[in-house]
Chain A
Amino acid sequence: MMRIFRIMFKEIKENLTDKKTMLMMVLFPIVLILILGFAFSNEFSQSYPTSDIQLIYTDSGSKEMSEGFQNFMKNCDDMGIKIKEAESTDKGINDIKNAKYTGYILVKDNIITLYKNDKNFIDTNIIESLLKTFIDRFNSISVIARNNPSIMGKIVSDENYDFTRVVSLDKEKQPSSMDYYSVTMLTLIILYGAMGGIFSIGEERTRKTGDRMLCSPVKKYEILTGKLLGQSFSILIQSVIVFLFSKFILGANWGTDLPTVFAVVLSGIIFSVSIGICLGFIIKNNNAAMGVINSIIPFIAFLGGSYFPISEVGSDVLSKLSNISPIRWTNNSIFQVVFAKNYGDVPMALAINLTCAAVFIAISAMAFKKEAF
């Protein structure tokens, strides 16, 4: 165990003393946040158009529920949200899977189920908020009806209950361009941390220090673990600096649940370092390995929305393709936690990052087992 820590600390020390790289990994994302944040500030406007939100529904609810739901639909219509009846439950669910609509509301007896498409998390957040308010009100009325039926008349007669007065879009919860690029540039630079993994292995080979390590009693798994931890910690330090700058100097909104955000960030770091280490073992030439990573990163970064939101392109093909980008899940889960307090994508992001990392580490272990560095 001590040897793992020794190797880890050696890696951290080497990275921190490499001032040029350290500076680049911190300044690069900060400069990009500033440039892209100012350049695209108008694209992330404060007023949010709801006219693009499309809903389908099936109403098999009780009489009381259906009446309330009709009122709900009228309010949606007033907001510009398009709502129409689904052909069937199965078709409705299928249409959501194929991203044809933002959500499908199934009202059955007194149960409301929302099937949502997370292509645009802000749209789904709006629908959920509206629906929640409707459900809360409906439940309140039901309780009153059981306990004090005499005042029911006054409440039920309020047929024009306006949900929009209850759910006001909190404009502070929408991401500005600075907010958006603070997240995406941070996750982008984490992805570039894979280069550190490549160099960590390649340099041990070039300098022959790897062979010297193997002449000692240290085990190969100790070397692998120490390097993974050391490189990950170094990138975490760089990430914290970028985070602090974006939060306190640029005023970016990182939400209130920083532990969850950093858990996702850390899983992204482990993912990128493990790719780098794996490439470092498989491709013996540093420059060739760098070439591979430099060709992969822009592609998955683009699909992950690092440069601009993929949903804005308006292409279903690209939206579906973006699912293969691990950084898409990382970015989306952070946005959902920060702006919608929605943790739905967090487990998926963690699972994808850590599973991929496990696969790359397993490949590295197999490559390392066969020979020295």
Chain B
Amino acid sequence: MKAVKIDGLTKRFGDTIALDNINPEIDEGEIYGLLGPNGAGKSTAINIICGLLKSDRGNVFVLGKNIRKEPDFTKRNIGVVPQDLAIYEDLTAYENVGFFASLYGLKGENLKQNIEMALKFVGLDDKSGEKPKKFSSGMKRRLNIACAIAHRPKLIIMDEPTVGIDPQSRNHILESVKKLNKMGSTIIYTSHYMEEVEAICTKIAIMDHGKIIAEGTKEELKSIITNTNTILVTVGSAADIDENKLKQINGVKNIIVNENVVKIIGMRDVNNLDKIILYFTGNHIPIKNLETQTPDLETVFLTLTGRKLRD
């Protein structure tokens, strides 16, 4: 049985097609990544699966049940970590988790045990009596997760759970996702950070403009772009770099500048390294490091769409 099966899902907002006939299938036990830039349709898809939005066309099946026909069953088995924090600042961490867990039918000793389990899992068991208004943003994000997992859902949907937090908390969250998966939950993980998706997802769908443009394991996706290679140039300062001039070099397909690292994606069979180096030296841009990189998902996205993930 598939954890999630989506048939021809379509959603419009006025003239904008937010989802255009998508048909992903997610096996039980997977960590399924939805990768795409802002506005790709990831959150719309998630909101429809959760029951917050109604689709215009298509069906969604969670654990074999249609979410429209059996909303109680499907909702009981889904836990949602929303992109925005959804916690009560004036209730303690314990009360927050307890309230949301109780809405899933948990009560008595069972409720108490599940609250403690959830708080311990996210590392907030020693803060259970405190209110989130005193927490750091990372701790709030962890509480956000605890509220979603206390009722032990079979499907956990995490919508960009690491936005705006420190690296330590991010790593903690990524480790938690893997642990939850090992404990038996299927996870849908949306993000526009390809390194997160690459690190934890067993299967990835790349979305853009409401469509799934590629789907598969990270190796399968990277094999789409076997005809490209990537050169990483670390420079002293990227302020003087003219991307258009660099693109004019024969064989260069795309440029991504991230702080002082210039990623040059080019055709594998065109030897242009000398011309690339000449550009930097000729424009008095000191090169601190130069290396070739194996293709990553950002490169895949760029190749497929011509745009950056974080545009």
Contacts and interface: CB of A to CB of B under 8 A. Distances in A.
Indicate, yes or no, whether A interacts with B.
Answer: yes
6 contacts: A14-B88, A209-B88, A211-B82, A215-B51, A217-B75, A217-B76
Contacts of B95: 10, 13
Interface in A213-228: 213-218
A216 B75 contact: yes
Given A208-B82, A215-B51, A6 B103 contact: yes
B88 A207 contact: yes
Please provide the 10 A-B residue pairs with the shortest distance between their CB atoms, ordered closest to farther.
Answer: A216-B103, A208-B86, A212-B86, A215-B80, A217-B75, A215-B50, A208-B84, A6-B102, A218-B103, A209-B86
Contacts of A208: 82, 84-86
Interface in B55-101: 71-72, 75-76, 78, 80, 82, 84-91, 95, 99-100
Contacts of A132: none
A2 B108 CA distance: 12
B144 to A, nearest CB: 9
B19 to A, nearest CB: 18
Given A2-B107, A3-B103, A217-B72, A13 B86 contact: no
A18 interface: yes
Contact of B91 (A13, A212, A213, A215): A13
A217 B88 contact: no
Contact of B102 (A3, A211, A372): A3
A214 B107 CA distance: 19
A14 B90 contact: yes
A217 B105 contact: yes
Contacts of A217: 71-72, 75-76, 103-105
Which interface class (under 10, 10 to 19, 20 to 34, 35 or more) fits B? 20 to 34
A219 to B, nearest CB: 9
B85 to A, nearest CB: 7
B contact face: mostly helix, strand, loop, or mixed? loop
B72 A212 contact: no
Nearest to A373: B52
A295 interface: no
Interface of A: 2-3, 6, 10, 13-14, 17-18, 207-209, 211-218, 372
B100 to A, nearest CB: 6
Nearest to A18: B90
A3 B105 CA distance: 8
B149 interface: no
Contacts of B105: 217
Interface in B84-135: 84-91, 95, 99-100, 102-105, 107
A2 B88 CA distance: 20
B90 A17 contact: yes
B143 to A, nearest CB: 12
Contacts of B50: 215
B75 A212 contact: no
A213 B52 CA distance: 10
A3 B76 CA distance: 14
Contacts of B147: 212
Given A13-B91, A18-B90, A215-B51, 10 more contacts: A14-B90, A17-B90, A17-B91, A208-B82, A209-B86, A211-B82, A212-B82, A215-B78, A217-B71, A217-B72
Contacts of B84: 208
Contact of A214 (B52, B72, B89): B52
Nearest to B77: A217
Contacts of A215: 50-52, 75, 78, 80
A209 B87 contact: yes
Given A13-B91, A212-B80, A6 B99 contact: yes
A158 to B, nearest CB: 73
A214 B147 CA distance: 14
Contacts of A209: 86-88
B37 to A, nearest CB: 22
A209 B84 CA distance: 9
Most buried by A among B72, B88, B104: B88
Contacts of B88: 10, 14, 207, 209
Contacts of A2: 102, 107
A217 B80 CA distance: 12
A214 B51 contact: yes
Contacts of A14: 88, 90-91
A207 B87 contact: yes
B99 A10 contact: yes
Contacts of A3: 102-103
Most buried by B among A10, A207, A215, A372: A215
Contacts of B82: 208, 211-212
A218 B90 CA distance: 22
Nearest to A17: B90
A211 B87 CA distance: 11
B287 to A, nearest CB: 46
Nearest to A206: B84
B245 to A, nearest CB: 45
B46 to A, nearest CB: 10
